[in-house]
Every structure is written in C-alpha cells, then in structure tokens.
Amino acid sequence: MKNEYDFHVNEKKLGGNAQRLTKEAVMQHGILLLDYSDYPVAERMLDVMSPEMYSQRDVKELRSRITWIKEHNSDVSLERVHQVLIDCMTGGDYKIGELTEEEVSEV
C-alpha cells in the first residue's frame, strides 16, 4: 500500500495526497488522519478503490498499517495541522478564494 504520495510514520501510513498543476493554479487534495475517529473514512475510501490498487487483504489489514497524528502527539489540534499545511505548501504566500469557472474546467 505504500507509494510516493503517501505520508508514513514508523512504517505506518498517516495519509496521502495528489496534486494538479496548471500555469495559473494548483489543486491539492489528500487525507491526513488526525485521530482514530477518522479511521472509518480511510477504511471506506479503500473500499471504493480499484482492485488493481488495493486487494481485499489490504483492506482487512488496514488498521495494522495506518496511524494518525494524535497517536504520536495527542496535543495537536486540527487548527494547528491546518496552519502548518498552509504554511508549508505556500511559504505563507496564498489567498483564500473560490475557483473561477475557467480554473474548474482546467482541473
């Protein structure tokens, strides 16, 4: 289940992401598991993935192969994770807004 777009801590998957770049925009999406309560979301996502990527055995072994942020630092808040991601991905240079119709069609 490991690929170059996944995040791992101690050999366990913490999350994954994907990105689409155009000349004028970046579309980033992914998942980071903050707490155990997020686990059912990850499990459901694997259930709908193509069999070529993940076998039923992978789905059954999921719990032993994933971790979440609060398992390593119980004091971390969602707000802190959000701010760190923004800062790391943008270097502090970003604006919040909606995609234009043209940007949506490009993505």
| Helix, strand or coil, per DSSP, at residue 99 | coil
Indicate whether 40 pLDDT > 60. yes
Give percent above pLDDT 90 in the chain: 9
Cα-trace Rg, the chain:
16
Q: Report the C-alpha gap between 47 and 61 in whole angstroms.
A: 12
pTM of the model: 0.56
Q: How far is CA 101 from CA 4, 24, 27, 104, in A?
A: 31, 13, 14, 5
With cut-offs at 50, 70 and 90, classify the pLDDT of residue 51: low
Mean pLDDT across 54-65: 70
Locate 47 and state its tokens. Answer: 């259930």
Task: Return all residues near 68 (Cβ < 8 A) that are at least 6 apart.
Answer: 14, 33, 34, 35, 36, 38, 39
Task: Return all residues near 57 (Cβ < 8 A) that are at least 6 apart.
Answer: none
